[in-house]
Each structure stands twice: as structure tokens, then as C-alpha cells.
Structure 1
């Protein structure tokens, strides 16, 4: 049973990392190459779509890692799992305090109501997102190391 939990958790976190990596290094550069109105509308749509899914994914991943850490507390690699959990917790805290407020504003913007500094706010979100991606990649790497 523990093996199933370990593999499922690693896959779920890994797919989350893949989605967030894709947002940072594929989707955002594509959106940023579009004309202003399309760029802003694309970011707003992405914020609505992923903003609905990612909180469940992040918190669910953290919960799975916590269960793994408790269930496998007497197995090798538990320290790696706990550290991965701490990194995922950091990513959730970063999201709530730094990224979500920007996203909540961005998802309501249209070309008619966006603020004058919308580009700067998007750029700040993107910089913070790159840091978050690095944090969750580190967590995923630790989970893989604990698995093997």
C-alpha cells in the first residue's frame, strides 16, 4: 500500500510540476508574443482556468506528501519526503501571499478595465512563478530520490 501511495504521489506532483513548467516556459512566452489585447486576455483566461484547478492540486499534493511522510516514517528516505513537503508548503504559502492576489486581479481584467500597470503586474507574477517552479521542481526531485 505504501508503494502505491509513493508512486501515485510522485506522479501527481510530477504532472503538477510539468504543467507549471509549461506555463512558465511555454505558455507565457507564447502569450507575451501576442498583441497587447490578446496577450492580456490570454493571461486573464489562463488565470481563471488554472486558478480554479491549481489550489486543489497544490494542497492535494501537499496532503499526499504528508500522508507519505507519516505512513513511511520508519522507512529510508523519510527525511527527503519531509523536506519535499516543506518545499510544497512553501510553494502554497508563496502562492497564497504573492501569486494569488495578482492572479485574482488579472483574471477580471479586460482591455477596457485593465490598470495602466497591468504589464508590470504580469511580469511580477511571472518572476514569482519562476521561483515557485524552482521550489516545486526541488520538491519533486526529493520525492523521486526518496522513491528510489
Structure 2
């Protein structure tokens, strides 16, 4: 049973990392290259879509890692799992304090109502997002290392 939990957790966290990495280094570059207001509209739509899905994904990942840590407490790699859980907690805190406030504003913007500094706010969101991606990549790497 522990093996199934380990595989499920690693896959769920790994796919989440892949989505967030893709947003950071692929999707946002595509949106930046779109003409006129298309990029801003795409970011607003992405903010609504991913803003609804990602909180559930982050919490589910954290819960799975916590269950893995408890279920495998006396097994090899528990310290790595606990550290991965701490990093996922950090990523949730970063999300709530740094990224969500900007995303909540962004997802309501249109070309008619966006603030003059919307591009600066998006750049700030991207910097925070890159830091969060680094944190969740580290958590994922620890989970993979715990499997070996």
C-alpha cells in the first residue's frame, strides 16, 4: 500500500510541477508575444482557470506527502519526505501571500478596466511564480530521492 501511495504522490506532485513550470517558461512567453490585448486577456482567463484548479492541486499534493510521511515514518527517506512537505507548505504560503492577491486582481481585468501598471504587476507575479516553481521543483526532487 505504501508503494502505491508513493507512486500516486510522486505523479500528482510531478504533474503539478510540470504545469507550473510550463506556465512560467512557456505559456507566459506565448502570451507575451500575442498582439494587442490578447496576452492580457489570456492571462486573465488563465488566472481564472488555474486560480480555480491549482489551490486544490497544491493542497492535495501536500496532504498526500503528509500521509506518505506518516505512513512511512520508520522507512528510509522520511526526512526527505518531511522536508518536501515543508517546502510544499512554503509554496502554499507564498501563493496565499504573494501570488493570489495579484492573480485575484488580474483575473478581473479587461483592456477597458486594467490599471496603468498592469504589466509591472504581471512581472512581479512572474518573479514570485518563478521562486515558487523553484520551491516545488525542490520538493519534487526530494520525493524522487526518497524513492531510491
Q: What TM-score do the two structures reach when normalised by structure 2?
A: 0.99
- Unaligned 5+ residue runs, structure 1? none
Counterparts of 1:1-148 in structure 2 under 5 Å? 1-148=1-148
DSSP 3-state at the match of 1:97: helix
Q: Residues 36 and 125 of structure 1: is their aligned pair in 2 closer, same or farther, counting only changes over 3 Å?
A: farther
How far off is 1:34 after superposition?
Answer: 1.4
Q: What TM-score do the two structures reach when normalised by structure 1?
A: 0.99
- Equivalenced residue count is 148
Partners of 1:36 and 1:65 lie apart in 2 by 43
DSSP 3-state at the match of 2:93: helix
DSSP 3-state at the match of 1:109: coil
DSSP 3-state at the match of 1:115: coil
- Unaligned 5+ residue runs, structure 2? none
Partners of 1:123 and 1:146 lie apart in 2 by 35
Partners of 1:36 and 1:101 lie apart in 2 by 25
How far off is 1:127 after superposition?
Answer: 0.6
Partners of 1:125 and 1:36 lie apart in 2 by 21
